[in-house]
């Protein structure tokens, strides 16, 4: 959430930059400023009123000491009247603040100056391309056919147990999935990230803190009885570890990594792009999260991008890194890099990671601050997929298929215990 200070001091710039995201904020920003003016006016009147109450209260004591009971009683009546006015002002202030907050949460984060204009994924900017394209035999098939051939993923069984988008991994497929999770976590911890295993459900406060609520309420699975949400990403519980926390400057950066299953309704998704592992309602993902000093958060972002790139390279996958245009960015992000790997069986690029800097947008909602020698200020938060498994698995199965079986990348073999899925 943008701060009122940001909005008031940079109104024109915020309105202009949000147009890059395709969001016309002029009317909303005007409403916010007007409400804030009203809030300030009521707050000043309330403060003046309370000050007058305190002054009269002291005066009452002196009048009683001087034996001026009649004047003291009159002053007490005046104090009672002021208290009633203060009560009404307090209620009005709370009402304005509630309405003001309801407007503030509708404003997306302001995109960084380097974010290109654009409305669709086709307008994203390719930053870098790496790896080598595999050369497959003419008989090569997509991963859903390989899953059936080697009996490693059962989509029909998942449909029976739950529904479409909930596959069952079996035998070597389950072991392969577990190997990837362990490898990603081990690589992340070796890079200085502390591993945590958070809850897989969060309360509404946590979903609000990282910006899933109210923006993506319809995309999350909701347990109505307890008002808990199934996590759409480990970013939500991990970042919320620092909700209402004041860190010391010397503690920054804080670096965490976590594995969680993730749940997303993906409402409205259909067609060939959702076949197999391309788009699931439940999937596994390893996440990296950083809490950074504002002065170094973009250096941290570059470091996270290099880290994810190294992971993909180690798996031998061809990839490309995209800087997302404004219209393809998330509500909370200031700058996002997407990683796509090439899936040779489908002959298409598949997104496997997003790495984002949210600047102080999430921190303001979370009240996540740090203290230096002079003052307390909002920290910056960042996160990235490191990595999301379904499409990584799809690309690895398709790109490494041979007549003998599916070759397991060398870095995974100590985790799988085999080098070939037969």
Q: Is residue 328 part of a domain?
A: yes
pLDDT, residue 245, reads 98
Residue ranges of the binding site for ATP: 264-266, 351-354
**Lowest-pLDDT range, 113-127, 187-201, 254-268, 285-299?**
254-268
* DSSP category for residue 39: H
pLDDT, residue 65, reads 72
Tokens representing residue 128 in the block: 């870098």
Q: Return d(Cα 232, Cα 300) in angstroms, integer.
A: 24
Residue ranges of the binding site: 233, 264-266, 287, 351-354, 383
Domain containing residue 393 = 121-421
Residue ranges of the binding site for L-serine: 233, 264, 287, 383
The per-residue pLDDT for range 37-57, each reduced to its tens digit, is: 999 999 999 999 999 888 888
Q: Is residue 113 part of a domain?
A: no
Tally the domains of the chain: 2
Q: Is residue 382 part of a domain?
A: yes
Does the pLDDT value for residue 267 go beyond 80?
Answer: no
Does the pLDDT value for residue 271 go beyond 70?
Answer: no
Together in a domain, 136 and 236: yes
Does the pLDDT value for residue 268 go beyond 60?
Answer: no
End-to-end CA distance of the chain: 51
Together in a domain, 11 and 58: yes
On the CB side of 300, CA atoms within 13 Å amount to 26
On the CB side of 89, CA atoms within 13 Å amount to 19
Among candidate residues 123, 120, 126, the one with its CA nearest the CA of residue 319: 126
> In this structure, what CATH number is given to the domain that contains residue 57?
1.10.287
pLDDT, residue 272, reads 57
pLDDT, residue 19, reads 97
Q: Is residue 367 part of a domain?
A: yes
Q: Return d(Cα 193, Cα 181) in angstroms, integer.
A: 15
267: exposed, middle or buried (Cβ count in 10 Å: 0-12, 13-18, 19+) = exposed
Mean pLDDT, the chain, whole residue set: 95
The per-residue pLDDT for range 346-383, each reduced to its tens digit, is: 999 999 999 999 999 999 999 999 999 889 999 999 99
């Amino acid at each position: 959430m943008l701060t009122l200070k940001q909005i008031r001091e940079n109104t024109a710039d915020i309105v202009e930059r949000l147009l890059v995201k395709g969001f016309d904020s002029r009317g909303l920003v005007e409403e916010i400023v007007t409400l804030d003016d009203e809030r300030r006016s009521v707050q000043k009147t309330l403060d003046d009123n309370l000050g007058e109450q305190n002054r009269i209260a002291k005066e009452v004591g002196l009048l009683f000491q001087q034996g001026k009971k009649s004047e003291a009683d009159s002053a007490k009546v005046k104090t009672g009247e002021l208290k009633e006015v203060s009560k009404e002002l307090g209620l009005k202030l709370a009402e304005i603040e509630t309405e003001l907050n309801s407007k503030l949460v509708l404003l997306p984060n302001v995109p960084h100056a380097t974010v290109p204009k654009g409305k669709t994924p086709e307008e994203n900017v390719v930053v870098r391309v790496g790896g080598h394209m595999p050369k497959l035999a003419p008989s090569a098939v997509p991963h859903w056919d390989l899953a059936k051939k080697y009996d490693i993923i059962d989509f029909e069984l998942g449909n029976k147990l739950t529904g479409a988008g909930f596959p069952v991994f079996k035998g070597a497929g389950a072991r392969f999935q577990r190997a990837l999770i362990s490898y990603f976590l081990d690589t992340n911890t070796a890079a200085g990230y502390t591993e945590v295993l958070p809850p897989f459900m969060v309360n509404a406060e946590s979903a609000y803190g990282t910006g899933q609520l109210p923006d993506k309420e319809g995309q999350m699975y909701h347990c109505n009885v307890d008002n808990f949400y199934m996590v759409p990403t480990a970013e939500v519980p991990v970042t919320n570890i620092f909700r209402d926390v004041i860190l010391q400057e010397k503690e920054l950066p804080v670096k965490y990594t976590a594995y969680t299953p993730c749940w997303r309704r993906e409402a409205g998704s259909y067609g060939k792009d959702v076949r197999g592992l391309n788009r699931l309602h439940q999937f596994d993902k390893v996440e990296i999260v950083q809490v950074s000093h504002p002065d170094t958060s973009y250096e941290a972002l570059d470091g996270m991008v290099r880290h994810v790139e190294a992971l993909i390279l180690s798996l031998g996958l061809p990839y490309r890194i995209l800087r997302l245009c404004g219209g393809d960015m998330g509500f909370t992000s200031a700058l996002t890099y997407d990683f796509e790997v090439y899936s040779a069986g489908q002959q298409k690029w598949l997104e496997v990671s997003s790495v984002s800097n949210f600047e102080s947008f999430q921190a303001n909602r979370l009240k996540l601050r740090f203290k230096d020698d002079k003052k307390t200020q909002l920290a910056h938060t960042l996160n990235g997929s490191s990595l999301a498994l379904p499409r990584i698995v799809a690309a690895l199965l398709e790109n490494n298929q041979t007549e003998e079986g599916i070759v397991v990348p060398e870095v995974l073999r100590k985790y799988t215990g085999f080098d070939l899925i037969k």
